[in-house]
Copies of this chain bind each other. A is one copy, B any other.
Amino acid sequence: MSILHIVNKSPYEKNSLDTAVGFVKNGDTVLLIEDAVYAAAKGGSVAAKLDGLDVSVLGSDLAARGIAEDRLIDGVSVVDYSGFVDLVEAKDSTQSWL
């Protein structure tokens, strides 16, 4: 069964993303919201942690933090809250890595 891994903490401040990516299996998606969106910014030292994963980022949290979409690492999908709801529906369960 597939999991939506929700991460909401800055990867520079907390270990949540580090742990979360260790639990991602084929078919899972990582959704970055709140301060976790910084993880998907190009040039950041943590960006490589997302390599090869299916990653979505909440667009309104990106905009709030001034991260333009062209500053995102390749392959990341930007979703709105409606897309967030769709992801929850599409996966069999959710795990919030608080």
> Residues of A at under 8 Å CB distance from B?
12-15
> Within the oligomer, what is the number of copies of this chain?
2
Shortest Cβ distance from residue A39 to the other chain B in the assembled complex, whole angstroms: 14
Shortest Cβ distance from residue A73 to the other chain B in the assembled complex, whole angstroms: 21
Question: In the bound complex, how far is the Cα of B10 from the Cα of A13, in angstroms?
Answer: 12
Where chain A touches its partner, the secondary structure class is loop
Closest to A11 in B: B15
Shortest Cβ distance from residue A9 to the other chain B in the assembled complex, whole angstroms: 9
Question: In the bound complex, how far is the Cα of B18 from the Cα of A15, in angstroms?
Answer: 13
Shortest Cβ distance from residue A20 to the other chain B in the assembled complex, whole angstroms: 13
Question: In the bound complex, how far is the Cα of B14 from the Cα of A14, in angstroms?
Answer: 5
Question: In the bound complex, how far is the Cα of B27 from the Cα of A14, in angstroms?
Answer: 29
